[in-house]
Amino acid sequence: MLKLSIVIPAYNEEGSIAETVQTLYEVLQKYKIDHEIVVINDNSKDNTIQVLQGLQQQVHSLVYYTNDGPNGFGYAVRYGLEKFSGDCVAVMMADLSDDPVDLVRFYHRMLEDNVDCVFGSRFIKGGKLIDYPFHKFVINRMANTIIRMVIGTRYNDATNAFKLYKKETIAGIQPLMAPHFNLTIELSLKTIVRGYTYTVVPNSWRNRKAGVSKLKIREMGSRYFFILMYCFIEKFFSRGDYKKNILHTDSKVK
């Protein structure tokens, strides 16, 4: 069995983080999965840190750190990926938009298929969207179509942060450089480009019930494009220097 770590970046999430952590803990306890919940307080200006302090009395698998800076979604996740202690690690959102039951399915598929990663997709049979803003849906589908064409992959939800990686995979896709939400595609595309094995399973997504989304679409376009080009250049011009099989391991993709 693998110890599961969950990295959750949190910026001004006092209205959501308690329910997210408690629900996640209850589900993982129910399925008897050895785990730790790693929350990265991204220098919040509200009472997120006080909420986390109180949660530690109830959720014994919770650890939290404060990222004093530089700040941003990517920086916070990267901070957490340096701190986790498990054999595999998932990235989840602080607003309970990701379903903990889906995480259990990811974990069991990783064990069953013996793959390096499990990717979620909200846009395959069995995937589900609840209260997804229409304009974000349109932009998401356009962005993922471009990503698929540029990288040459059938995976259709690279912008989805909710994925599970083995510890060795995270080590193998370093260095990570994206500071913002473009880290979501850097993690998944480097995994694909470097030849790690993965399984895609459907997952659900629901809109947050409290707080405000931190994703600013207008600000992120060029940043996503930069990471996409970075991964494109690595795939076609690095001569395989970073691929998993160069490290003398199996590079078969499922």
Q: What is the pLDDT of residues 60-76, one digit of tens each?
A: 999 999 999 899 999 99
Q: Which residue pairs from 122-126 have beta carbons closer than 8 angstroms and sit at least 24 positions apart in sequence?
A: 122/157, 122/160, 122/202, 122/203, 122/204, 122/205, 123/156, 123/157, 124/156, 124/157, 124/200, 124/202, 125/202, 126/201, 126/202
- Are 3 and 86 a contacting pair, CB within 8 Å? yes
Question: Looking at the DSSP assignment, which residues form a beta bridge with residue 130?
Answer: 206
Q: Tell me the mean pLDDT in the region 175-199.
A: 96
Report which of residues 19 and 217 the model is more confident about: 19
Percent of the chain at pLDDT > 70 equals: 91
pTM above 0.85, yes or no: yes
Which parts of 189-247 are beta strand (E)?
198-202, 204-206
Question: Looking at the DSSP assignment, which residues form a beta bridge with residue 56?
Answer: none
* Residue whose C-alpha is closest to residue 163's, from 94, 214, 106, 213: 106
What is the Cα–Cα distance from 97 to 205, expressed in whole angstroms? Answer: 5
What is the Cα–Cα distance from 235 to 155, expressed in whole angstroms? Answer: 16
The pLDDT assigned to 250 comes to: 37
* pLDDT of residue 190 exceeding 90: yes
**pLDDT tens track for 132-146:** 889 889 999 999 999
User: In the structure, what pLDDT confidence band is assigned to residue 15 with cuts at 50, 70 and 90?
Assistant: very high
Question: Domains, the chain, ranges and CATH?
Answer: 4-247 (3.90.550.10)
**pLDDT tens track for 96-153:** 899 999 999 999 999 999 999 999 999 999 999 999 889 889 999 999 999 999 999 9
Which tokens sit at 204? 């659900």
* pLDDT of residue 214 exceeding 60: no
- Are 27 and 37 a contacting pair, CB within 8 Å? no
Question: Looking at the DSSP assignment, which residues form a beta bridge with residue 118?
Answer: 164, 199
Q: Tell me the mean pLDDT in the region 189-205.
A: 96
Q: Tell me the mean pLDDT in the region 6-25.
A: 96
Q: Is 170 helix (H, G, I), strand (E, B) or coil?
A: helix
